[in-house]
Every structure is written in C-alpha cells, then in structure tokens.
Amino acid sequence: MLSRRPLLLTLAMLPLGGTARANPALEAAMRRLIGEARPEDGGMALRLPALAENGAQVSVTVSVDSPMTAAEHVSAIHLLATRNPTPGIASFHLTPALGRAEVQTRIRLAEDQQVLALAVLSDGRVRRAIAETRVVTGGCIA
Amino acid sequence: MTGLAQPRIRIPRTARPGEVIEIRTLIEHPMENGIRGGVAGVVPHDMLTRLQVRRDGETVFTADLGNGTSANPYHVFHLRMERTAELEFLWTDERGRTARATARVVVA
C-alpha cells in the first residue's frame, strides 16, 4: 500500500508550481483554458476513486459551490490529466439554467496520476481541485 | 459512411416549478484517440468532439470532449426547470456527423 506521506507532499507541491511547470503539455493546456488566471483552492470537490481497476472507464464527479444565478455562477469546468499522453479530458460550459454546478463523466487514465479540475467563475476567478488515483490497468493504449 | 449510434437519455418526464432535475446521457462511440494499436497499425482517430444541450432552442450545457473522455461518453448534469420545455441533445463528431435526441419535461 502506498504511504500517504509522499502523496501529501506531492499535493502540497503541485500548486501550479511544481507539476505544471515540470509538465509543459499540462502547463500549455492550462494556459489555453484559463489564460494567466491563478487558481485558488477550495469551494469545489473533485471525486474519483482512489483505486481504479480499469483506467479506460474511471468515474469522476466535479461539484462547485455556487448559487448558479445570472450574477454569480460557474461558467466552465475543465478536467485535465497530469500523466496521460495528452492532458485534455473535457471542458464543460455551464449556464445559470443548470441550477447546480455539478458534472459527472467517465474518463481515461493511462497510469497512476493526479487529475486536475478547474472551475471558471462568472467573475473571472478560477478555482481548482486535485485528486489522485492509482490505476491498475491503463486506459489509453489498451 | 454510417451514422452515429442512437443516444440514450434518462430524464424525468415531469418536474415541479423550480425543481433541479438530473439528466443522464450515454452514447455508444469508440472514442478512438489514434494511439491504440502501436506498430501493428494504429486505429484511426475517431472522436466525438461535442455534446450540446438546448432547452427551447437556448444552449444550457456544452461538453467539449478530449482524448481523456472514455469510450461510450457518459454525462450527468442538472437543469433547473421553471416551465414545461423541449430539450434537444446533439452530439457531433470530428467529421461533422451528428446524433440527436429530444425530450419533453412537463412542469406542473
């Protein structure tokens, strides 16, 4: 079993310093999606299994705390993979009509890695959540 | 050139005014990312690129799908219903082919 300590350390370092800069494809994908915005932690949840038997079909749910009103809503949720051949998973464009800022889908993960969710708010701020999953059978090449 | 598979939608037929309903969508599609098969011969790239959901003609939700989206794309999202409405779900692939589904939700 993986010790929790290295994981926590990795998460502490990830905050856009370490991982994104060390991963040019991820960095480029983030810049394309959110420009120069600096994501803040908190205010959203990214749920995915700690252990994924089948990396080809991993259930993921993103929910963002938001009243989803015309004045204050989530306008986009982006999902990025840190260790897939390409980082892009999906981008969801939301409107106040949804009433709830929550999206569930199934994703492919090639190997053990972190998944990054970015939520773009209607005032331009960006929130961020990160979750780590161990993948038993990789889901991209198989 | 064959068309896309018929999508499946799970959505309540009725809702109370102001109720936030849950919508589940599934469409069969291989979502070939063009990296499978290795030296033996790569399976050609073949992806759905977008799911667009309209309510009475107005776009309420769009999903732009990348390589990390699984085969047979599945999405769950919500919609606040104030009045009876017609919903349209439209999937588009990278060659411009589409699959469409509709649903009516009666609000009373």
The string of pLDDT tens digits covering residues B37-90 is 766 667 888 999 999 999 999 999 999 999 999 999 999 999 999 999 999 999
Q: Which two tokens stand for residue B16?
A: 């109370």
For residue B7, is it within any domain? no
Q: What's the confidence (pLDDT) of residue B12?
A: 98
| Confidence class for position B94, pLDDT limits 50, 70, 90 | very high
| B62/A90 Cβ within 8 A | no
In chain A, where are the structural domains located? 4-137
B70 vs A100, A107, A141: nearest CB: A107
Give the pairing type, strands B85-93 and B48-55: antiparallel
Q: What's the confidence (pLDDT) of residue B60?
A: 98
Determine the average pLDDT of the residues in A54-68.
97
- Does A142 contact B at CB distance below 8 Å? yes
For A2-35, how does the pLDDT look when each residue is reduced to its tens digit (9 = 90+)?
A: 444 444 444 444 544 455 567 999 999 999 999 9
Tell me what percent of chain A is helix, strand and coil, each rounded to the nearest 5. Answer: 20, 40, 40
Q: What's the confidence (pLDDT) of residue B78?
A: 98
Q: Which two tokens stand for residue A6?
A: 């290295």
For residue B2, is it within any domain? no
Return d(Cα A67, Cα A83) in angstroms, integer: 33
A140 vs B33, B59, B62: nearest CB: B33
B71 vs A56, A81, A91: nearest CB: A56
For residue B6, is it within any domain? no
- Does A100 contact B at CB distance below 8 Å? yes
Range of the domain at B58: 14-34+42-107
Residue B3 C-alpha, separation from nearest chain A C-alpha, in angstroms? 23
CATH of the domain at B68: 2.60.40.10
pLDDT at B91 over 90: yes
For A87-130, how does the pLDDT look when each residue is reduced to its tens digit (9 = 90+)?
A: 999 999 999 999 999 999 999 999 999 999 999 999 999 999 99
B→A interface, C-beta within 8 Å: 20, 33, 35-36, 38, 55, 58-80
A vs B, Cβ pairs < 8 A, gives 109
Return d(Cα B66, Cα A81) in angstroms, integer: 11
Domain count, chain B: 1
Q: Is A28 helix (H, G, I), strand (E, B) or coil?
A: helix
Is ipTM > 0.90 here? yes
Q: What's the confidence (pLDDT) of residue A12?
A: 42
For residue B52, is it within any domain? yes
Which of A79, A92, A113 has the highest number of chain B CBs within 10 A, making it the mutation to test binding with B?
Answer: A92
| B68/A106 Cβ within 8 A | no
Return d(Cα A74, Cα A100) in angstroms, integer: 9
Residue A137 C-alpha, separation from nearest chain B C-alpha, in angstroms? 14
- Does A39 contact B at CB distance below 8 Å? no
Architecture of domain A4-137: Sandwich (2.60)
| Confidence class for position B33, pLDDT limits 50, 70, 90 | confident
| A91/B70 Cβ within 8 A | no
- Does A73 contact B at CB distance below 8 Å? no
Q: What's the confidence (pLDDT) of residue A141?
A: 63
Q: What's the confidence (pLDDT) of residue B104?
A: 98
- Does A94 contact B at CB distance below 8 Å? yes
Q: What's the confidence (pLDDT) of residue B36?
A: 76
| A140/B35 Cβ within 8 A | yes
Element (H, E) at A21: helix A18-22
For A31-56, how does the pLDDT look when each residue is reduced to its tens digit (9 = 90+)?
A: 999 999 999 999 999 999 999 999 99
For residue B1, is it within any domain? no
